[in-house]
Structure 1
Amino acid sequence: MNLALWIVTGVLATVLLISTSKMFVPREKMAAAGGRAGQWVLDFSPGALRVIGALELLAAVGLILPALLDIAPVLVPITATCVALLFTGAAIMRLRRGERVTIIPDLVYLGMAVFVAWGRFGPESFTG
């Protein structure tokens, strides 16, 4: 179970790191490259996209470093809970935009975040 949690945490952190590109790539370019799934960036200002990207960067760090360095490892499940909230917001945004097909990855990442939060708060916590 511990290995599965580490693998899911690593995948989630990688997805979040890749997603931080919205901080550096102009939103028009992202919208053009992403097709229908990338059009959502046009609904947000460049400043809002930078804030979202910064939160995703902090989340990627918060999922890995506390446990790796054994400094406040309770931050891992707390961060996973915050990531679940982030992807809940992403799924709601997709529903409002009528993007029913593109919601699937967000729901998968939401499930992964819930799994990490549950596993690290419960059976495979770093404190027990």
Structure 2
Amino acid sequence: MNVVLWIIASLLAAAFVGAGLLKLIQPKEKLSASGLGWVDAYSPGMVKAIGALDFLGGIGLVLPAFLDIAPVLVPVAALGLVIVMIGAAVVHGRRKEWPMVVANIVLLALAAVVAWGRFGPYSFS
């Protein structure tokens, strides 16, 4: 199960780091034009903040354990991403973007598995 948790955390990290960088680097208008219509309802600063949460959460899923520096941050990051995905699912649900809601729920479930495993029976202690 430890290997499975590493694989899940690594895949989630890649997804969240990529999504976070996209939101941090691209201007809000370009994000909107590329199909992320939800950004129109938020300020540029809020979009950057969401990107920062995605990026830091993704880094937090693997880097602390990989470097063996405060590995307790791995399940904390996973729990934070669960909260971010709840918010994302609500936003996409209100916009009736059902495929995005499904994607958010899948990411939420995977992050919850990492949080459960690393807080519980497969912690780094």
Q: Identity of paired residues, percent?
A: 46
Within 5 Å, which residues of 2 pair with 1:108-119? 108-119=106-117
Distance 1:59 1:101 in 2: 23
1:1-128 matched pairs, under 5 angstroms? 1-20=1-20, 21-34=22-35, 38-127=36-125
In structure 2, C-alpha distance between the alignment counterparts of 1:24 and 1:45, rounded to whole Å: 15
What value does the CA root-mean-square deviation take over the aligned residues?
1.0
Runs of 4+ with deviation above 2 angstroms = none
| Distance in structure 2 (CA, Å) of the matches to 1:51 and 1:63 | 18
Give the distance between the partners of 2:75 and 2:100, measured in 1 at CA: 26
For structure 1, the 5+ residue unaligned runs are none
1:64 CA displacement:
1.0
C-alpha separation between the residues in 1 aligned to 2:34 and 2:80? 28
